[in-house]
Structure 1
């Protein structure tokens, strides 16, 4: 079965719906099992959603927030996804949630993989809700086309929740090519997923990705793998 695609006239409307959906999914998970896992992406698109969720009534002390991917920089760095999540989501009522960082004191992402696999695995069995983004090259998470480690990350063995990525030479990765990312199994096994995208350019990228191979535009792998558990939310 296919994913659901929802188009809204404004970004505020899209963020409002995404917040209602996210809080509903997390509340249902808490009611079912007493806890919930919420894996989130960085970038500019999620910020309006995060701000809405931060003030939402929810048993946040039963929620563990983790990252879909991370640049290998400290939380004091402007490029840190952890910093963005702490600034926009883990405030107000959502400040009671637990947080699971990806960046560690290890010098490289590769050196930290074993530790972070163990840390993330209990919260990815499966992930209750994952929030994905999409770049102009068709990447999601840190699955950059032609990146070093891409195939191993997308097709990791069961139980391998994170992987190191070397995005050297990938233009969209910019000057921070060393990354850690959730793997294919961790993402596509999620119980529910939101792909939140804004702008006509991202709509065009999505249309292209739905016709491309997963190797060329890796977001296609997540879209196909998640199927009806994925809701794509877009506004111009």
Structure 2
């Protein structure tokens, strides 16, 4: 009599639409066209549109391509998904990044809704920023998230610890009440302000802009491993709409 053999059933990966490109320039152009279409749709539906965008080096080409798209930019509000607590003239400021690479050409007339305030700490500005974003920035129409090599999104970092009450109950809560939170982490030199997932998830168009094989491996691991506590896993598992991945090597 044969011994019974147990069949191991691998968990299904979380859903994710994928658009793959040969290089970053092709990706930037395609993402810009898609986001412009998303914004035109929002403008047609309710006369205005709001988009939240991630910072860093990866989106620069995308921002430049988006800035030349034809739409009624005067009725579009742009806000950073997160911000280092640095003045807007600082090279590491995401507000500066948006002003230099996106708010030019056709997009020069768009309205910028910054997260930074001239206070010593982000905690000191939290309530005014929270109120401003809740009243004038939400709901979003489009959100474009990046991802770090460590699986962080926005300024929601894995080294904060999934058991950190603020990260779990505010930052990663898909239907939380707080649209923004202040962040401090040992691996980053500056404190930050960030949108929470509950704010990001108000966008009916949710895109992930990721480049490079290393980041793709991190994303694939989080997508397939139900034990993963990386913030990108919380995006994939909690999003009310299936995100679309724009990826190139």
Q: Which residue of 2 aligns with 1:167?
A: 185
When structure 1 is superposed on structure 2, of 206-215 and 20-29 the one drifting more is 206-215
CA distance in 2, matches of 1:121, 1:56: 27
1:171-190 pair list within 5 angstroms: 173=188, 175-176=189-190, 178-190=191-203
CA distance in 2, matches of 1:224, 1:189: 15
Q: SS where residue 210 of structure 1 aligns? A: helix
Bigger CA radius of gyration: 2
1:124 deviates by 4.7
Q: Which residue of 2 aligns with 1:110?
A: 123
Q: Check 1:63–1:4 CA distance in 2 against 1; reply closer, same or farther (3 A cut).
A: same
Preserved CA contact (<8 Å) 2:64 2:101: yes
User: So what's the TM-score if we normalise by structure 2?
Assistant: 0.87
Q: 1:46-68 CA distances to partner (integer Å, 9 max, x unpaired)?
A: 11111011111110000000010
Q: Which residue of 2 aligns with 1:155?
A: 173
Q: SS where residue 74 of structure 2 aligns? A: helix
**Unaligned segments of structure 2, at least 5 residues:** 1-13
User: So what's the TM-score if we normalise by structure 1?
Assistant: 0.91
Q: Which residue of 2 aligns with 1:70?
A: 83
Q: Which residue of 1 aligns with 2:104?
A: 91
1:157 deviates by 6.6
Q: SS where residue 193 of structure 1 aligns? A: strand
Q: SS where residue 233 of structure 1 aligns? A: strand
Q: SS where residue 239 of structure 2 aligns? A: helix
Q: Which residue of 2 aligns with 1:225?
A: 238
Which among 115, 121, 135 is matched to residue 122 of structure 1? Answer: 135
CA distance in 2, matches of 1:222, 1:18: 19
Q: SS where residue 24 of structure 1 aligns? A: helix
Q: SS where residue 183 of structure 2 aligns? A: strand
